[in-house]
Amino acid sequence: MEVLFFGIAKDIVGASHKVFSTNEHRPNSVGELKQLLIQEYSELAKLSSLAVAVNSEYALDHVPLRDNDEVAVIPPVSGG
Amino acid sequence: MEVLFFGIAKDIVGASHKVFSTNEHRPNSVGELKQLLIQEYSELAKLSSLAVAVNSEYALDHVPLRDNDEVAVIPPVSGG
Amino acid sequence: MKKYIEIVDQIDTSTVYAQLSHPHSGGICVFVGAVREFTAQQEVVGLEFETYEKMALKEMEKIADKAIDKWNLQKVVIKHAVGMKNVEEPVVIVGASSAHRSECFEACRFLIDTLKETVPIWKKELFKDKTVWVSAHP
Amino acid sequence: MKKYIEIVDQIDTSTVYAQLSHPHSGGICVFVGAVREFTAQQEVVGLEFETYEKMALKEMEKIADKAIDKWNLQKVVIKHAVGMKNVEEPVVIVGASSAHRSECFEACRFLIDTLKETVPIWKKELFKDKTVWVSAHP
């Protein structure tokens, strides 16, 4: 499972992506992923919002994560 | 005094302008001009509205008309 | 220049952004009115516009000044075409630039709405078998 | 083609009317967002945009489809630029064409408002002495 980081999230994490191999312990849902990231990078908790997209669709906390999913961490958007 | 006609008013009157020489009896106000025109061209009375501009500014019925004024008969506008 | 106000033979849409752009403007809103193929289910061959140009320019200036004043605009464009126009041809272009987007949207809507109410321009619809001066009769 | 949806390096304002024009459209409304020189009294040197392109295009498609459906539009344009943009440069262009003007104005406003809420694009403001990710913090 690959997790992509954009905008300020990329700056906080210090990387544009992170791969969870299947062997490694990896989060099973969007909610777990968020918890795990916030534990490791507390600055993420200070953002106005923190959304997650699974296979390029916004996904709520209960959505499960699978091995081949492309997951993205979406800090507050500011286009336009 | 010159009176200009536009749009459907030009079609009804059959001319794009009409000159009232100072010798001739000419209307003394916007209201009088309108009355005079409607008497002569009854089709003007059937329009949705009939405005008059004096020296290229909209003018109400009480506005006096003078010899050197440029007067325009403004049927319902439909720009855009 | 702050205002671009013209009666023209052809509307040139390609210059409008250069004319409205300004370092203090975060938003630019533009409206273009064009000739539609159908009016009330009848096929339109074209439109013919005429104007009382001297007065039309004065009224367009007044509209632009009101909008600049009310919405604190950086730039305003109001241009109307005259003569014969075919289906899809632009006949009017209005636009405004402002710091934020709400202002330019509201101003742009005001420009076209007020132009239609007060500017001495007349439109004749040409159908296959007749011509009609728009809005002339109740 | 009914929709023109793109992430681009440069916004080309010159093609938008040709793309939105349609024989059934009497009205075309376009909004352009550009880089402002000042934000909260601070001088902006430029803006830098990045996007999650695959998802951004999907979200822009959704916005366009909603607008077409709601306002019965003939055509829709949504284009956003990425990379470094200087003051006065356009960064986004949205537009809609419809039979009458109310629909294209409302649709155009909806396109830009919704784009700002949902499309994964991020803007960094570059000042002389610092950079700030816009809206990141409360």
Whether D18 maps to a domain, the answer reads yes
Q: Are A26 and A14 in contact (CB under 8 A)?
A: no
Comparing A13-22, A53-62, D118-127, the range with the smallest average pLDDT is: A13-22
* C138 lies in some domain: no
- In-domain check, residue C137: no
Residue B48's CB is within 10 A of a number of other CB atoms, namely 12
Which member of A4, A7, A56 has the closest CB to residue D122? Answer: A7
Interval B39-77: pLDDT, tens: 999 999 999 999 999 999 999 999 999 999 999 999 999
Whether B80 is in a domain gets the answer no
Best to test chain D binding among C13, C103, C117 (most D CBs inside 10 Å): C13
| C126: nearest Cα among C59, C13, C47 | C47
**Which residues in chain C have their CB less than 8 angstroms from residue B17's CB?**
none
- CA distances to A43, A63, C17 from A29, in Å: 21, 6, 47
d(CA D79, CA D56): 10
Domain membership of residue A21 (yes or no) is yes
Residue B26 has pLDDT above 90, yes or no: no
CB proximity under 8 Å: A 9-28 to D: 11
Q: Do D120 and A72 touch (CB under 8 A)?
A: yes
In a domain, A39, yes or no: yes
The tokens for B44 are 């003007």
Closest-CA residue of A relative to D33 is A80
Overall average pLDDT of the B4-30 stretch: 91
Structural domain count, chain B: 1
B55 found inside a domain: yes
- Residue A58 belongs to a domain: yes
Q: Do A8 and D133 touch (CB under 8 A)?
A: yes
Tens of pLDDT, residues D1-22? 799 999 999 999 999 999 999 9
| D-chain residue closest to C11, CA distance | D17
**pLDDT reported for residue C101:** 98
CB contact under 8 A, A7 and D133: yes
What confidence category does residue B23 fall into, taking pLDDT thresholds of 50, 70 and 90?
low
CATH number at residue D35: 3.90.1170.40
Domain that holds residue C47: 2-132
DSSP per-residue letters across D83-131: EEEETT-EEEEEEEEESSHHHHHHHHHHHHHHHHHHS-EEEEEEESS-E
Q: Which residues of chain C have pLDDT under 70?
A: none
Residues of B in contact with C85 (CB under 8 A): none
Distances in whole angstroms, Cα of residue D24 to Cα of each of A53, B11, D71, D74: 38, 30, 14, 7
Would you call A72 and D52 a contact, using CB atoms and an 8 Å cutoff? yes
The answer as to whether B45 is a domain residue is yes
Calpha distance A5→A33 (Å, rounded): 13
Q: CATH code at A57?
A: 3.10.20.30
Query: Which chain C residue shows the shortest CA-CA distance from D27?
Result: C33
From CA C124, how far away is CA C37, in angstroms rounded?
A: 14
- What's the CA gap between D98 and D105, in Å, rounded? 9
CA closest to D31 among chain C residues? C29
Cross-chain Cβ contact B8/C50 below 8 Å: no
Which residues does C contribute to its contact with B (CB < 8 Å)?
Answer: 33, 49-52, 54-56, 58, 80, 91-92, 112, 115-124, 133-138
Could you give the number of structural domains in chain D?
A: 1
Contact C26 D38 (CB under 8 A): no
Confidence of residue B21 (pLDDT cuts 50, 70, 90): confident
**CB spacing of C33 vs D14 below 8 angstroms:** no
User: A-chain residues within 8 Å CB-CB of D138?
Assistant: 48
Residues of B in contact with C121 (CB under 8 A): 77-80
Q: Which residues of chain D have pLDDT under 50?
A: none
Banded pLDDT at A23 (limits 50, 70, 90): low
- List the subunits that have 3+ CB pairs under 8 angstroms with D: A, C
ipTM of the modeled complex:
0.95
Q: Which of D109, C52, C87 is nearest to B4 (CA)?
A: C52
Residue D137 lies in a domain: no
Tokens representing B42 are 């009854």
Task: Say if A80 falls within a structural domain.
Answer: no
